[in-house]
Amino acid sequence: MVQLNSTMHTYLLRKRAWDMDTSFLPSFRVTSRPAFHTRALDPGNYFLFSRIAELGVPVQEGQGWRTFFRPTPIVHFHWPDNALASRSWLKATAQVTAALIVAVWLRLRGSRIVWTAHNMRSHEQNHPRLERWFWAAWWRLVDGVIFHSRAAQSRARDAGWLRFPRATVVIPLSEFGPMYDVPLTPHVRVSKPRRIGFVGRIRRYKGVEQLIAAFRGAALNETRLVIAGKPETPEEHEAILKAATDSASIELHLRFLPEAEMITLIKSCDLIVLPFASITNSGSTLLALSCGTPVLVPENDYFEELQEEIGSEWVHMFSGELTSAALQHALAAVAATSEQRGERPSFPVHRSVGWAAQSTIAFYQRVLSS
C-alpha cells in the first residue's frame, strides 16, 4: 500500500463521502492540455486536476513544447477541436496537422492518449471537409475517451467511432458549488421585475440573438433580459448590440465577468436561458443550477438525461427553436414550481469533483493496463 503523508491523510479524512480505498493510489504521471491555466474561463479542469494531484497523481500543464519533449504515461487532451477555430483555412489546416503530429509522436514515445470528448464536432463548423478528416484521424489515435453523459457516448456509438478507442467511460460534469470561493447563499428575489438571463462567452452556436428576438416578441411586462458575457468576435458583438437596440428592458454586459459578479448576476435571475445548438454537455447549465437558478434549454438527449437526474422543476426544455411562447411558458412553469424547489438542486454523488477525480484516476489505470 502506498504510504500517505500527513497532508494527504488529513485530506482523505475530510472527504469520507468518497469512501475511497487508498490502496489503489497509482505511481504514474499525467500531462493535461489544459490542466490549471484556464481557471479564469472555466474552473472545471483546475479543480479536477487539483483533486487528482491531491490523490497522489502528479499532474503537469501541457503547454508549449513540454508535452512534445517530456511525455508522461498519460497525456490527457481537452478540446482538440480548438485547432479548427480559425476562419483561415490555411491556419486551421496547419493547426490540425500539428495536433495530429503531436498525438502520433506521443504514441511513438509510449504515452497513452486520453481525451475528454467535450465536443465531437466544432461549434462553428468553419471548415467541414477539413473537420471530417481531422476527426477520422483523431478517433484512431486516442486510447481512451471520457464522455460527460450517456447521451454523448450513444452518439459516438451510433456514428461508429467507438470501434477505435481501447476504453471509454462516462464521468459527468461536476457541479460548480464547491469550486467557487463566493458563498452560494440563496438570493432573495423580489416579485417585480422578473429577470431572465444569459451568462457565458457569446458564440454563434449559443443562440443569443435568438433569445433576444424571443424576448422582444413575448412582450413580457415588468421583465428584464440580462445578457452577460464576452462576445467571441467583433461581428458577434455588433450583432448583439443591433438586436438589443431601442429596448430599455434588455441589459447588456458584453465583457468578461469576474467570478463574484457572474454568480451574483446568475442568482439575481428567475431563469437562465441557454438556447444552444447541438451540444453534448454544458458547463453554463451546471453553473446556473449550482447557483440555485432554474434553466431553460433545448430539448435533446443530453438535457433529458440532466432533467431526469436533477428534476423538471429545475431543468425546463423547449422544442425546436426558442420562441416567445416557449419563453412565456417557461416563466409560468418556474413560478408554478417555486414552492417545490429548494435553495439548490440536490446533486447526486457522481456530480462531485471528488468522485470525478477518483473515477478519472481509475480510468487512467484501465487505459494503461489495456
| Residue-by-residue pLDDT tens, the chain, 370 positions | 333 343 333 333 334 333 444 444 556 899 999 999 888 777 889 999 999 999 999 999 887 666 667 789 999 999 999 999 899 999 999 999 999 999 999 999 999 999 999 988 887 788 999 999 999 999 999 999 999 999 999 999 999 999 988 899 999 999 988 777 555 555 555 456 799 999 988 988 898 999 999 999 998 888 999 999 999 899 999 999 999 998 889 999 999 988 888 889 999 999 999 998 777 788 889 999 999 999 999 999 999 999 999 999 999 999 999 999 999 999 999 999 988 888 889 899 999 999 999 999 999 999 999 8
Please tell me the total number of residues recorded for the chain in this structure: 370
- Residues forming a β-bridge with 252: 227
C-alpha 212, offset from chain centre: 23
Q: What is the pTM of this model?
A: 0.85
Helix (H, G, I), strand (E, B) or coil at 319: coil
pLDDT value for 20? 42
CA distances to 169, 302, 306 from 309, rounded to whole Å, are 18, 11, 5
CA distances to 186, 265, 269, 292, 327 from 183, rounded to whole Å, are 9, 14, 17, 12, 30
pLDDT value for 204? 85
Identify the structural domains of the chain with CATH numbers, from first to last: 6-175+350-369 (3.40.50.2000), 178-346 (3.40.50.2000)
Q: 10 Å Cβ neighbour count for 246? A: 6
Q: Name the phi and psi angles at 143, rounded to 5.
A: -90, -30
pLDDT value for 107? 93
Q: What angle do CA 216, 225, 205 make, to 5 degrees?
A: 80
pLDDT value for 1? 34
Which of 37-67 are b and which e, b meaning 16 or more Cβ less than 10 Å from the residue's Cβ?
Answer: eebeebbbbbbbbbbbbbbbbebbbbeeeeb
pLDDT value for 18? 39
Cα 59 to Cα 72: distance, rounded to the nearest angstrom: 9
pLDDT value for 66? 64
pLDDT value for 62? 85
Cα 107 to Cα 142: distance, rounded to the nearest angstrom: 9
Cα 199 to Cα 293: distance, rounded to the nearest angstrom: 12
pLDDT value for 64? 67
The one-letter amino acid code at 300 reads N
3-state SS string over 173-229?
A: CCCCHHHCCCCCCCCCCCCCCEEEEEECCECHHHCHHHHHHHHHHHCCCCEEEEEEC
Which class for 191: exposed (0-12), middle (13-18), buried (19 or more C-beta within 10 A)? exposed
